[in-house]
Structure 1
């Protein structure tokens, strides 16, 4: 989305297992301005904020629900995100305090569900879909992650899981492969669209970003102002 000219923010909503610092190669501790607002660090033209930037790498966050919800509010409303077109919030699996807090206190435009096609993972995702339906939060669709790999001999896609409940989920937006190029990018903190911009893998992520942008544009919600860390 950032490569397509959008002003993008990425908030890591996984308090217990934050991954954004690794995936986006942002490890510096954010600074706080004179208004006591956190200034999100930026990389690849994306503003990023995560609990992983505020706690030591080896430490474990052991908090009950109220503290988790307070941390989410701090990251969301206690940061100076500035003017954004889209703020993407990466959440943990399931239907926990993070999802409920965001659904109740943030103006969510829509949800993208991400799952592997394994039956156990799909069952958890299906519960998440039911939760957002009850909360009347729009679901844009599903991203099938690690749904297949490309055979090194015949170069044809090979599926890992033949039977699943994928058809019981909302509309599939795209299927992403399990591939060493993507894995290497994750480990090095360089997005595949940056490291391999002309690859088939980058094209898949670009296609997904384009489709989500089009959904947002159709809803006239692609431009959302965030002033002084306070969402409208």
Structure 2
């Protein structure tokens, strides 16, 4: 029997044994060739920004809705789109429920509260129902949320992105002309590691980074008035310097922010004159100037 020779050439052609690119970059095959939708604007919306954390539990949705409300307080026609299919938060944060009506053009009509328009998967499924869908169903739902909502004319739309850097985020960045992204993180290293992944993702898909927000930066005891940096103090500012990104501001760890969110009255509405609300307003003003609004 002749001796059989095995070659490792095909394996060596890959960057790693699984054949996955080490760079983590999305495939660069032309979109028309893959039969995918082309990147386009969201109808009747002037500016679209994404609020991302790439990690759950850092307060991204709370910040996103307070930013949208801050834009509205500055006289802008503002809206928020909840792109988290599996764990939508916007209905709770805005104290809204009920199925959206359809317009004469068969488009979803947003629900409104506190002067801003909103759309979320949470309006389309029962509050206690689990969305048990595979990827194709998720992408179809996301496509409808992005391009089948009748916003009726907005100056700015805030996209509340789910955690991670996967299908949903890639679909949004490849199908929507984003005017910028805001990264939210706590100062803790374990959160910052994922935040940096979010920075890398937006850089790879050529979405401008408007800056970073440091959440839960400091806790002041209501009894002794002593302040403590529970999660660290300078993590986000350090990463801003490392990646040449603007530091947009600090949001303190305060029980009222959490309480306001849980009862569906965000801080900017519940405590408009508080230092916490003014911090949200200041961050929104920086973003507004960057966008030319």
TM-score after normalising by structure 1: 0.89
Q: Which runs of 5+ in 1 are unaligned?
A: 223-232
- Superposed displacement of residue 6, structure 1: 0.4
Q: In the alignment, is residue 214 of structure 1 matched against residue 285 of structure 2?
A: no
- Superposed displacement of residue 177, structure 1: 1.0
Q: How many residues align?
A: 218
| CA–CA distance in structure 2, aligned partners of residues 26 and 173 of structure 1 | 29
Tell me the equivalent position of 2:24. Answer: none
Query: Aligned runs of 1:25-104 on 2, under 5 Å?
Result: 25-104=95-174
Query: Aligned runs of 1:59-208 on 2, under 5 Å?
Result: 59-162=129-232, 165-166=235-236, 167-169=238-240, 170-208=245-283
Cα contact 2:109–2:149 (8 A) shared by 1: yes
Cα contact 1:119–1:164 (8 A) shared by 2: no
| CA–CA distance in structure 2, aligned partners of residues 142 and 168 of structure 1 | 9
1:31 alignment partner, SS class? coil
Cα contact 1:93–1:124 (8 A) shared by 2: no
2:214 alignment partner, SS class? strand
- Superposed displacement of residue 152, structure 1: 2.5
| CA–CA distance in structure 2, aligned partners of residues 116 and 196 of structure 1 | 23
- Superposed displacement of residue 168, structure 1: 2.3
Cα contact 2:218–2:233 (8 A) shared by 1: no
- Superposed displacement of residue 206, structure 1: 0.9
Q: Which structure shows the bigger proportion of residues in strand conformation?
A: 1
1:146-188 C-alpha deviation (Å, 9 max, x unpaired): 1111133453532012377531243321110111111111011
1:42 alignment partner, SS class? strand
Tell me the equivalent position of 1:2. Answer: 72
Distance 1:178 1:76, change over 3 A: same
- Superposed displacement of residue 66, structure 1: 2.4
Tell me the equivalent position of 1:24. Answer: 94
2:217 alignment partner, SS class? strand
| CA–CA distance in structure 2, aligned partners of residues 35 and 195 of structure 1 | 36
1:178-204 C-alpha deviation (Å, 9 max, x unpaired): 111111110111121111111111111
TM-score after normalising by structure 2: 0.71
- Superposed displacement of residue 65, structure 1: 2.3
2:232 alignment partner, SS class? coil
Q: In the alignment, is residue 13 of structure 1 matched against residue 101 of structure 2?
A: no
What's the C-alpha RMSD, in Å, of the aligned pairs?
1.5
| CA–CA distance in structure 2, aligned partners of residues 63 and 151 of structure 1 | 43
